[in-house]
Structure 1
Amino acid sequence: MVESDEINPVDVKHYNVDLFINMSTKTIDGHAQILLALTDSNATQFYLHLSTLTMADAFINNQKASYTRSSDKVYFEIDDHASEIIVEIDYAGTPGNDGFGGFFFQNNYAFTIGQGLYSQPPSMLRHWIPSHDVPFDKATIDLHLTVPKELDAFANGVLVSTTVENNTKTFFWREQHPIATYLIAVAVGQYAKLGMPFVSVTGDSISLEFYVFPNDVNNAQTDWANLPRMLTFFEQNFSSYPFDRYSMAQAYNRGAMEHQTMTTYSHELITGDNRYDYIVAHELAHHWWGDLVTLGDWKDIWLNEGFATYSEALYFEHIYGDDYLAKYMEALSEIYLAEVARRGHFALYDPEYMWGGTVYQKGAWVLHMLRWTIGEAAFWRTLQSWAQCYAYDNALIPDFIAIAEEQSGQNLQWFFDQWIYRAGYPDFDISWDYQKNSAVGYTVTIDIKQQQWDKFQFIAPVEIEIETATGTVVDTLISSSQQQQFQITLDTAPARLIIDPYNWLLKQYDIVGNPAPPGVRPNDFYLAQNYPNPFMQGTKTAIVYQVAQLNSPHALSIKIYNILGQEVATLIDRSLHGGLYNVSWDGKDNTGKNVPAGVYFYRLQSQKQNIEKKLVIFGN
């Protein structure tokens, strides 16, 4: 597990850091004692990371050490080839940041964010502690934080002691569990401290603590009230909570960051209405996926962010049910597709951009599809085994694939090859028709064409439902080549084809051909009654329409109007060749806002013909 081509022959075991944080000058003075093992007996030098800060003296095993600095690294010559050595460094200065991650002073608060959005690699501990600042070198840490005595200072692990001396106060924090450097953090300021009782599935009490700006206490109590329920769900389905404490510290940061045992949470996210419960769940889930099991290389960021994002969906499924899960996954796919429109396609492994829809939302979809592929029992066993096998350790994507294959008994290389190591998703053109058999029953013919942006053809299980007068037929069609035809025999005539009714496949599709309604000829313009009608706010209704074959293509539009005749939404406005089409409306106007419940009209308008029908929206 390496972060760059430069091999560093060290394995850090423990950090012992004294840090004086000067709030008035916005500087720090530090003394770091680093216990490390040399992993190569023939090595002549090693390095630690340290950015911008000034070094005074450095010692190795109590002997003054010579060193050189280059960029954000400090190189030491190896004179003592003992199996373990202690490096001591005195340093000071103004700690840095990249605008998102690093060390910050603001409004008499100081805080750190361990990941930088604008740095490569994104490890940010080097801005305030000399360290082997790579995700795969986990160690324990003692942090002694000295601050003005009127302030509090919080960090990882548990508080061992507090000492007051003159005008300062020193807080001694200890994290006894191995921790990746990007998860080490501090939060300093005048905080109101809140707490909640929580009993783990193991029967042990876990300290839930919250550090909040005094003016935000009431809102924070509301926004974080559901955390015990989230913790219970994750414990029951992943493993028992793996650390001694869980806390959240408010800060003037952007977003949130899952520092081990202490999530740093933006002041902008505390609103008092639980609208950011998904972020609360996301950061908590990281304490399994990222903190307990830590990626071994930033190229494998999916193991952190995809897992935490899908954990949001799993929690909401637990609270609100299967239908909510399907809607949540649809919302995640829309975020991902929006990023594709901006940035293009790229793979989840070693992504071109680490902090957006491909890694987070598509990453969640990969786990969702894996769940459908291997089944419920194997999926949950996979997550539990992942947490158990790599607890307090590092792992890579091939390690997860091996766990999933072991728990499912399946060869899943085809699945991960296309969803992790390749870019994109299947984009289908689907047409269907049916005919009455000469004897009894009906034959439904479904044509599926994959037309995604590159030539690669996905192996895509497409679940379908066919509604008939006597019931619903469910089947799964395996699309694995550019164009395939499937036939299904039914006892009664089909009324409607539904693609992926429970939303288990990441895809886009268009229904480019439907059975012509009875009495509708190829050269007719036709507008069907929407289905369902009425439909509920927050759902969608489908509208089937036909464009005449003769003299096509035809310029046409389908628009929604209110009862005053005012245009509300435009669904179609372009030239189309002859054929039967399908369009849906989500009950939103042209600005993206939900329209009020009530009666509306939808109109197909062309140079040849105008057709209008009525629809109804019910409120929730």
Structure 2
Amino acid sequence: MRLLALTALCLTAAACTTNGPDHADRMISPILVTVEARDDYTFAKPEIARVTHVDLDLELDFRAQSVGGTATLDIAAAPAAEEIILDSNGLQISEITAVDGTHLAYTIGATVEGKGEPITVRIGEARRITIDYKSAPQADALQWLAPEQTAGGEHPFVFSQGQAINNRTWIPTQDSPGIRQTWQARITAPAPLDVVMSGILQGEPIDAGGSRRAFSFEMDKPVAPYLIAIAAGEIDFRALGPRSGVWAEPATLDRAAAELVDTEAMIDAAEELYGEYRWGRYDMIVLPPAFPYGGMENPVMTFLTPTFIAGDRSLTGLVAHELAHSWSGNLVTYASWRDGWLNEGVTSYLENRISEVVFGETRAAQERALSYAGVIEAVEELGTQAPETTLLTPEALDPLNYNSAITYDKGALFLHTVESIVGRERFDPWLRSWFDRHAFEPATSAMFLADMRANLIGDDRALEQRLMLDQWVYGTGIPANVKRPDPQAFATSDAAARAYLADRTLDARAWQGWSAAEQMRFLRSLPEALSAEELALLDRTLSLSTTGNNEIKFLWLEAALRNRYDPAVAQAEAFLSTVGRNKFVEPLFKALVDEGDWGFPIARRIYDRTRPSYHSYTRSKVDQVLKVKD
């Protein structure tokens, strides 16, 4: 039996004091100070003093590639608290004052690699403080793009990526997922650029002088700090429905809007399953290719990679995933990075359920089968006893360096298994009630299992044994009760794969009629070793190098580079020059590096040219592959 906590303290508005004049009625979520809720990646001590609201007044400086201005913080603190500790990573502080103008003493501690440095402010009686600061150039959270790196080629662009702990490079606050905060912002940018944020736009932009415009935003619900996001550039808006729309560069907008026509149907499906969508609007922005992830679930403004645009809506499961975060991750957020599955695994389960409603059981079953195969492959590679295969990341491991097949897919597989045992008629109401009970609060694995035991299992000991909850969350490998996918989900493409293995038979017409999931399944079934003749036949017959589906193109390039297929080198270089999504970039460079004398010089040459165009996250990953030092 695992011990839930050594200490269980709750810091709420009732237990603390705050003198913010306009924010007394805001929701303030609790901080759980427990063994499982402890965040090793913040310097903050939220049980003593915590940030409850952030008010930003910032200027975007594209020439200096920096943001600067003020951040005013509302603080909830224990009566005897004399100081508050904030997170920073390279922030340049000019001064810190109380609301009455009194200068407050502060110290900036030594830098801790991978974490930044603490800012300790002597607040005394102050419960609202203002920090005058600017971000350092090359702040990890911000990607500044020159005009030539955009689709339009005329104006610069900037976007942020705060998760996991990068927002401390541009916002002085307590950068920890359990320290939820409301926020508002006034941002100025040079005309004609538009600014979007992960909050609700307040009115129209106004003239700020000097050919600049000011944009104001508000998020009146407490969110994890990593969810404060910003983007600015030459972007236009297209409505998709009464509460949804998409921003994108003008050259991308038509294709993006066409790909996203199912958005309102997804919102409706999610609400039917998991309750009210509580964020008002659901808008998205399709960013330039340098964005390092598939998507980022920033509230009211999901950030998306352009690589999801396939022309046939086959990759819009990504949108279902980011939308699902509106419940799992944004509404109820893990308190610690060690509970990554509690955001991503639960969200991956919700994504599949939403896809089933909108796109049908066949597509959902195929996506579940792909997910299951990914878990099996990861566990076989890592080992069934490897601590990396647990859902709750053990203390000895870095939770920011996770295996996505475990965090996302094993987490989803856990919930599919529970659902299959208890039945949807019981499981769906329980999961919906979990979101209701813990809305706008941080949570832990222990809380999740305790809630399941109290409100789903009850006193049914036989059911408890069948579910194997602790084995799933705290154990390694895959528990014996796992829900296996429908063996017929890929009957057609699996038969084609067997035929190919037997006599290299390929049917181009059948391939064209398959779903994207079936095509990916077929490509993943190919032998590791393929001759140049076999690769040429595959490409010629299935048009792999010219596909508009980036998931398919990636699998093709990975197989081709793994087999030193010279015609694919130019294709890979073109792909790596226009795509910054780390899911594709890092593995392709690794495929080249793994080929030694043939591949490493190619990788080195391509990376020397493309590295400046990648986000800092992608650069850090590829640097490790090539062992590059700045």
TM over 0.5: yes
Q: Corresponding residue for 1:604?
A: none
Aligned partners of 1:196, 1:284: CA distance in 2, in Å? 14
Contact persistence 2:82–2:125 (CA under 8 A): no
Residue in structure 2 matching 1:232, options 259, 268, 272:
268
Within the candidate set 307, 318, 342, 2:357 is matched to 318
- Equivalent position to 2:219, from 156, 170, 175: 175
Greater mean alpha carbon deviation, residues 2-11 or residues 355-364:
2-11
Specify the alignment match of 2:441 in structure 1: 393
Instruction: Say whether the 8 Å CA contact 2:89–2:117 is kept in structure 1.
Output: yes
Q: 1:238 to 1:193 in 2, by over 3 A?
A: same
> Which runs of structure 2 are paired with 1:80-95 in the superposition (5 Å)?
80-81=124-125, 85-95=127-137
Cα gap change, 1:373 to 1:179, in 2 (>3 Å): same
Q: 1-side partners of 2:241 and 2:434: how far apart?
A: 28
Give the structure 2 partner of residue 3 of structure 1.
Answer: 39
Change (3 A) 1:220 1:296: same
Residues 404-431 of structure 1: CA deviation (Å, up to 9, x unaligned): 2213434547622111111102xxxxxx
**Other-structure match for 1:382:** 430
Q: Which amino acid aligns with 1:12?
A: V
Indicate the SS of the match to 1:48. Answer: strand
Q: Is structure 2 residue 481 aligned with structure 1 residue 460? A: yes
Instruction: Establish whether residue 20 from structure 1 lines up as the match of residue 59 from structure 2.
Output: yes
Residues 95 and 17 of structure 1: CA distance in aligned 2, closer, same or farther (over 3 Å): farther
**Alignment counterpart, residue 146 of structure 1, candidates 188, 191, 197:** 188
- Shift of the alpha carbon at 1:372? 1.0
**TM superposition shift of 1:106:** 4.6
Displacement after TM superposition at 1:461 (Å):
7.1
Deviation per residue, 1:194-234 (Å, 9 max, x gap): 11223xxxxxxxx3121101111221012111111111110
Residue 313 of structure 2, aligned match among 274, 277, 293: 274
**Which residue of structure 1 lines up, in the alignment, with residue 241 of structure 2?**
197
Aligned-partner Cα distance in 1 for 2:364–2:237 = 35
Cα distance, 1:19–1:136 mapped onto 2, change above 3 Å: same
Amino acid at match of 1:249: I
Tell me which of 81, 85, 92 is aligned to 1:47. 85
- Matched residues in 1 for 2:405 and 2:230: separation? 29
1:189-338 to 2 correspondences below 5 Å: 189-198=233-242, 207-252=243-288, 253-255=291-293, 256-338=295-377
- Are residue 32 (structure 1) and residue 71 (structure 2) matched? yes
Number of the residue aligned with 2:456 = 407
CA contact (8 A) 2:39 2:336 kept: yes
Aligned mates of 1:317, 1:186 — CA distance in 2: 32
In 2, Cα distance between the equivalents of 1:341 and 1:268? 29
* Aligned equivalents of 2:442, 2:505: Cα separation in 1: 61
Question: Given that residues 291 and 392 in structure 1 are in contact (C-alpha distance below 8 angstroms), is that contact kept between their aligned partners in structure 2?
Answer: yes
Rounded to whole Å, the distance in 1 between the matches of 2:271 and 2:505 is 52
Matched letter for residue 434 of structure 2: W
Contact 2:372 2:485 in 1 (8 A): no
Counterpart of 2:133 in structure 1: which amino acid? Y
Look at both structures and tell me which one has the larger radius of gyration over its CA atoms.
Answer: 1
Q: Matches of 2:539 and 2:355 in 1, distance apart?
A: 23
- Tell me the CA shift for residue 157 of structure 1: 2.2
Aligned equivalents of 1:423, 1:501: Cα separation in 2: 20
Asked whether the equivalents of residues 82 and 122 of structure 2 are also in contact (C-alpha less than 8 Å), the reply is yes
Q: State the distance in 1 between where 2:187 and 2:343 align.
A: 29
Find the aligned partners of 2:180 and 2:119 in 1 and give their Cα distance. 20
Residue 490 of structure 1: aligned partner: none
Q: Which of residues 47, 67, 79 in structure 1 aligns to 2:106?
A: 67
- How far the C-alpha of 1:596 sits from its partner, in A, is 9.1
Q: In structure 2, how many angstroms separate the alpha carbons of the residues matched to 1:225 and 1:148?
A: 32
Alignment coverage as a number of residue pairs = 447
Q: Distance in 2 between matches of 1:390 and 1:276?
A: 31
Q: In structure 1, what is the Cα distance between the partners aligned to 2:302 and 2:255? A: 17
More helix by share: 2
Q: TM-score, normalised by structure 2?
A: 0.65
- Corresponding residue for 2:475? 422
| 1:177 to partner: Cα distance | 1.1
- Deviation, 1:387, is 1.2
With over 3 angstroms needed to count, the CA separation of the structure-2 counterparts of 1:307 and 1:397, relative to structure 1, is same
* Cα deviation digits, residues 420-445 of structure 1 (max 9, x gap): 111102xxxxxxxxxxxxxxxxxxxx
Distance 1:149 1:159 in 2: 17
- Contact map agreement 1:234 1:285 (CA 8 A) in 2: yes
1:110 to 151, 155, 158: 158
Q: Which has the larger strand fraction?
A: 1
Q: 1:542 to 1:281 in 2, by over 3 A?
A: closer
**C-alpha distance 332-37 of structure 1, shift in aligned 2 (>3 A):** same
Shift of 1:501: 7.2
CA RMSD of aligned residues (A): 3.2
Q: How does 1:540-551 map to 2 (within 5 A)?
A: 540=495
Q: How does 1:349-498 map to 2 (within 5 A)?
A: 349-350=392-393, 352=397, 353-354=401-402, 356-405=404-453, 406-409=455-458, 410=460, 412=464, 415-425=468-478, 458-460=479-481
Give per-residue Cα distances to partners, 1:53-108, cap 9 Å, x unaligned.
Answer: 211011134320111112233433545246xx01110002435444xx55544531
- Cα distance, 1:375 vs structure 2: 1.4
CA deviations 1:220-252 (Å, max 9, x no partner) are 012111111111110100011110211111223
SS of 1:137 mapped into structure 2: coil
Q: Distance in 1 between matches of 2:372 and 2:241?
A: 37
Instruction: Supply the distance in 1 between the matched residues of 2:504 and 2:302 (Cα, whole angstroms).
Output: 48
| Matched-pair contact (CA < 8 Å) for 1:114–1:182 | yes
The answer on whether the counterparts of 1:193 and 1:210 sit within 8 Å (CA) in structure 2 is yes
Instruction: State the SS of the aligned residue for 2:317.
Output: helix
Equivalent position to 2:175, from 133, 156, 169: 133
The answer as to whether partners of 2:497 and 2:526 remain within 8 angstroms in 1 is no
**Residues 552-600 of structure 1: per-residue CA shift (max 9 Å, x gap):** xxxxxx9612689xxxxxxxxxxxxxxxxxxxx9996546979999xxx
**CA shift in 2, pair 1:318/1:209, >3 Å:** closer
Percent identical residues:
25
Closer/same/farther in 2, CA of residues 382 and 109 from structure 1, 3 Å limit: same
Structure 2 CA distance for aligned equivalents of residues 79 and 295 of structure 1: 29
Change (3 A) 1:586 1:297: closer
Secondary structure in structure 2 of the residue aligned to 1:424 = coil
Separation in structure 2 between the aligned mates of residue 246 and residue 398 of structure 1, nearest angstrom: 31
Cα distance change of structure 1 residues 145 and 537 upon mapping to structure 2, 3 Å threshold: same
* Structure-2 change in CA distance of 1:104 and 1:131 (3 Å): farther
Q: Distance in 2 between matches of 1:459 and 1:559?
A: 31
- The offset of 1:140, in angstroms, is 0.9
In structure 1, runs of 5+ residues without a counterpart are 116-121, 199-206, 426-457, 463-499, 504-530, 544-557, 565-584, 598-620
Deviates more, 1:336-345 or 1:415-424: 336-345
Q: Which range moves more in the overlay, 143-152 or 588-597?
A: 588-597
- In structure 2, the CA distance between the partners of 1:156 and 1:541, relative to structure 1 (3 Å rule), is closer
Q: Is the 8 A contact 1:45 1:75 kept in 2?
A: no
Matched letter for residue 207 of structure 2: V
SS at match of 1:538: helix
SS of alignment partner, residue 537 of structure 1: helix
